[in-house]
Chains A and B, each alone.
Chain A
Amino acid sequence: MMDSIKLHYDVPGDDFTRAGAASGDVKRNLKTLGISPSVIRNVSIAMYEGEINMVIHAGGGVIDVEITENEIIMTLADKGPGIENIELAMREGYSTAPDNIRSLGFGAGMGLPNIKKYTDEFSIDTKVGEGTTLNLKVYIQ
């Protein structure tokens, strides 16, 4: 059996020039491992959306990725403001992104719905004033 591969990323807050670096790196790693393009796409989309959310809404955070034989496990943790109403935040089109962020192309309110859509397992732990952790899994068929 293959040993699992573990990757760790620090996502700096408010640095849009670096946002996407972690998901880009994971994508390259998965390609090297010969993982199927559709799995790579799902992982990349979910991770990029999560990474951007950390930068925009939570002042950065950390991402841990574990690649096992059967699945890719992603944990995205931040110490931001937390999400008060998860149901609302999960709704397509709901966004609290300010205007300066919207002018960069964000704020469609599609990030969390995309993450749910492109992962096989999805859960959010969040506490107002403490932070948010996304637990994501994508199965490798």
Chain B
Amino acid sequence: MKVKELAEKLGLTVLTEGDLEKECTGCYSGDLLSWVMSRAKENDIWLTVMGNVNAVAVAVLTDCACIILTENSVLDKDAAIRAVRQGVTILQSEKNAYELSVLISELI
């Protein structure tokens, strides 16, 4: 499923637009960046509460499909600028990581 479709089906708010045509093939949840860095795979949907520039850097390096900020966690202004510049899609949801994971497992 493409990022665009995912955002529509889950009713996510689009905070920054990267490549919305990118394919989502898996999902990873976590907030400790070194952990995510070594475990998240290319084209994963990454669920986190970390809306800072470092999270954007991790998204770039892991080539994940998009970030979903869970429980309406906020995106820093610096991070938003960086994400736009580096083409990282950041979405936001009021749901928590568990609720989103359950829904995502039915979609992908």
Contact = CB atoms under 8 A, between A and B. Distances in A.
B60 A27 contact: yes
A23 to B, nearest CB: 6
Interface size class of B (residues with CB under 8 A): 20 to 34
Interface in A23-82: 23-24, 27, 37, 41, 44-45, 48-49, 52
A16, A23, A105, A111 — most chain B CB neighbours (10 Å): A105
A106 interface: yes
Given A45-B38, A105-B32, A17 B57 contact: no
Contact of B37 (A16, A104, A107, A114): A114
B32 A104 contact: no
A107 B38 CA distance: 14
Interface residues of A, number: 25
A16 B54 contact: yes
Contacts, number: 71
Nearest to A45: B37
B33 interface: yes
Contacts of B54: 16, 19-20, 52, 104-106
Contacts of A45: 37-38, 61
Given A20-B53, A106-B54, A111 B78 contact: no
Given A17-B78, A44-B61, A45-B61, 14 more contacts: A16-B52, A24-B60, A27-B61, A41-B42, A45-B38, A48-B57, A105-B32, A105-B54, A106-B32, A106-B33, A110-B35, A110-B37, A111-B34, A117-B38
Interface of B: 31-35, 37-38, 42, 50, 52-58, 60-63, 78, 82, 86
Interface of A: 16-17, 19-20, 23-24, 27, 37, 41, 44-45, 48-49, 52, 104-111, 114, 117-118
